[in-house]
Structures are given as C-alpha cells and as structure tokens.
Amino acid sequence: MTHKVVLTVDLDRDYPIESMGKMSAHSAVSQDTDLDPEIRGTMAGTSLVLDYLSKLKIPCIFFIEASVLKKMGETELVERLLPYEIGSHGVSHEDFTGELSGYIPTSDEITTTLKTSIQIISKFLKTPRGFRAPFLNVDSRVMKRVENLFEYDSSVTIKQIQSYSNVSIDKEFDWINIPELFLSTTNDKRDKPISGYLWQLFEGSRTEEDYLFMLDRCFRINKLTYTTLAFHPWHLSINTKERRYLTKQEVHNNFRKLYNLLDKVQSSFEFVGVEDILSL
C-alpha cells in the first residue's frame, strides 16, 4: 500500500502574530495593518515553491489569508495558484477563539469574517472549498460557522483527538460535522511530540530525517491512513527567533532543505490531493 501524504501551505502575511485585544493579526517583522499586510517574504517564498511544485507535479492545498491575496492582486503569481486546491485562512489572520489575543469575537463577527474571506478569495482566484483557522484556533462555536460555509476543515491536529497511539483517522469528533483533514502529529525518535509543520526544519532544530521518521511512524505505529505536511512560504525568508529577513544565501539554504525533504517524501510516499482523502 502506498502511504499518502497531503502537502498544505498556509499562505499568510510575513510571520503573523496575534494583536492583543483584537481579532486580526499583524506581522512580527514589519509594521503592517489588517488590510495592508507585509508580504515580501511570502511573495518570494511562494514563487520558489510554485516553481518547484509545478516541476515535480506535486498536488498542494493553499490556505490563503484573503488580505494577502488582495494585496498580491492580479499578478502572475496569483495566476500560478489557479491549478491548486484553495482554502481560506481568514481575512487578516484572525484569532477566531480569542485564545491568544484575549478578544473573543461575536458569532456575527466570525460569520462576517469568514464570508468576507470567501468573497475576496473568489474574486481574485476561485472559490475556496476548505478552511484552516489561523493559529489553528477553533472551537465548537467557530466550527459551527465553518461548516455552514465550507466543504471541509483542516484546523485540528491528531494530538487534539487522541493520545498518540492507534488513532483511527475515521473517528469522528462530535463537534465537527464536515470532513476534517487532520494535521499529523506523533512522537519523534526520543518520544518527544512532533508535528507535520516544518517550522523546526527551517529554524534548524529538526532535520529532514526527523520528518521522514515522523511520516513513517504515523503510518507504521499510529496506523494513520494519510499524513499531512504544512509550511509557510515566508518561512523560507524569515528567522522567527531573531525576527529578521534572511540573506539570499540563507533563503537558498532553506529552499534546499525544503526540496531535499519533499524529494525524499516523494520517493517513499505518494503526494495526493484532498479528494483522494476526503469524500467531498
């Protein structure tokens, strides 16, 4: 049996962090505003990633922050996103549960924001079918609105469902009433938690071998029927600890790490699209 891996990209502003007391986020590396996000790292990273994906014909889901897409406007970069599966990642990277910002939005604010994200993404690209919550912050109240507006969700990690062993991916969570593309989490060689987000690959605290081990373990030990990998295009260009843009050489090194990993994943596993996993 080939093991299926879904590659996902959170296409958001350059290193978004929560704004205290408000729903929308801002960039940690620049002075930007809700509707005028800083995207130079995202633009550069997305271009590199799209070159690579199209060359190797790897399917991918882009969960897009609508204000980022609006700022990109009618550019060639946006056109190159058209062949891919598209989801929403909010308008201005909202913290929908208020867990980080301390601001708990009303149900109307949640609905209006989700609808606005759909309008903007539909106008500049195409109708988003899925949703991934910024900061992965969802609860039953947010999910209720999400399930009315989207065909599937991808904001919930395996870790949130069960402990690490013998997870059945088909097990339904009683507060999720639409198909869920779960984000993979498991333990590493030293039995420490690891997720399919590639933050630590770019930050240098994990290697490609750690992620290959993680995928293998998800299938072999956790018996998952698929796994997910996720990353942010801006992460190729930004060091989050030092909150600075990287040099050309450093960006090149990060891109090399990414494609070395994806090349190896492609030779041992099979990259598939969302419709191979969920019945939509």
CB of 91 to Zn ion, least distance (A): 12
Buried b (16+ CB within 10 A) or exposed e, 134-172: bbbbbeebbbebbbeebbbbbbbbbbebeebeebebeee
Question: Residues for the chain: how many in total?
Answer: 280
Shortest spacing between CB 90 and Zn ion, in angstroms: 8
Contact indicator for 1, 30 with CB cutoff of 8 Å: no
212-243 burial, b at 16+ Cβ within 10 Å, e below that, comes to: ebbbebbbeebebebbbbbbbbbbbbbbbeee
DSSP β-bridge partners for residue 274: none
Closer Cβ to Zn ion, 12 or 18, answer by number = 12
Q: Which residue has the tokens 């991934």?
A: 132
Beta carbon of residue 196, minimum distance to Zn ion (angstroms, whole number): 14
User: Which residue is nearest to Zn ion, using beta carbons?
Assistant: 12
How near is the Cβ of 262 to Zn ion at its closest, in Å?
A: 20
How many CB atoms sit inside 10 A of residue 267's CB?
A: 7
Cβ closest to Zn ion, residue 134 vs residue 179: 134
Which residues of the chain form contacts with Zn ion (CB under 5 A)? 10, 12, 134
The pair of structure tokens assigned to 70 is 């609006």
Nearer of residues 133 and 214 to Zn ion, judged by Cβ: 133
Which two three-digit tokens encode residue 279? 């019945």
The least distance separating Zn ion from the CB of residue 225, rounded to whole angstroms, comes to 26
Pairing of strands 185-187, 61-64: unpaired
Closer CB to Zn ion, residue 10 or residue 32?
10
Give 117 or 222: the residue with its C-beta nearer to Zn ion: 117
Closer residue to Zn ion (CB): 12 or 180 = 12
Minimum Å gap between C-beta 266 and Zn ion is 25
Q: What's the CA gap between 140 and 213, in Å, rounded?
A: 33
